Amino acid sequence: MREIILNKSAEMFLHYGFKSVTMDEIAAQLGISKKTIYQHYRNKTELVEASVFYVFETICSEIDRVCGQDKSPIRELYEIKKVVREHLKNESSSPYNQLKKFYPKLFTQLIQKQYNVMIESVTENLHRGIAMGLFRDDIDVFFISRIYISGMNSIKDEELFPNENHSIQYLTTLFLEYHLRAIVTPKGLLELNQFINEEKTIQQ
């Protein structure tokens, strides 16, 4: 039952926001009493924390799977974007911003964990891209990796990028292409353009 509660809670928090969803609503969706939830989670804060790190670890496992497939560094980044999109489901940045506003301590812990995972993944991706001749060998990996992570976090800021203007999905795609066009070699640019054209064909 604990895992069932966790799965449903994570789904609802991601769709509606961490502040918006109540324990009563979770219980109603599961067809159980609120008391049953409290037998497994002492309060909503504990359930939010469990849900956040459950989703985080799930995404990390999927990213590890993608990175283990030995894809081109360019295609790998797009595949990781796809994995994150599928797990987070909601294009709105509301859950992210609600977590930041109403659970600041938990938000800080998540960002630190996320940073540690991303910095390792992005750094390895950049080094492989350089070795394969897809990324320029004169780029500063330390600088580029941190600018990339900073940018990915910034596009979730509703003050900088209001939801009514562009979806998170659109902004992520735009930023990823922006990142890659800044560092690819002519060889890498050919592969990037080929991949983008393939994606456009699939979407038509």
pLDDT tens figures, 142-200: 999 999 999 999 998 888 988 788 888 889 999 999 999 999 999 999 999 999 998 87
Q: What value does the mean pLDDT of the chain take?
A: 92
Domains and CATH numbers, the chain: 53-203 (1.10.357.10)
Specify the pLDDT at position 53.
96
pLDDT over 80 (residue 204):
no
**Mean pLDDT of all residues in 125-130:** 98
Tell me how far apart the alpha carbons of residues 180 and 161 are, in angstroms, rounded to a whole number: 21
**Percent of the chain having pLDDT more than 70?**
96
Tell me how far apart the alpha carbons of residues 174 and 168 are, in angstroms, rounded to a whole number: 10
Tell me the whole-structure pTM to 2 decimals.
0.87
How does residue 86 score in pLDDT terms, banded at 50, 70 and 90?
A: confident
Residue range 186-195, pLDDT digits in tens: 999 999 999 9
Specify the pLDDT at position 90.
55
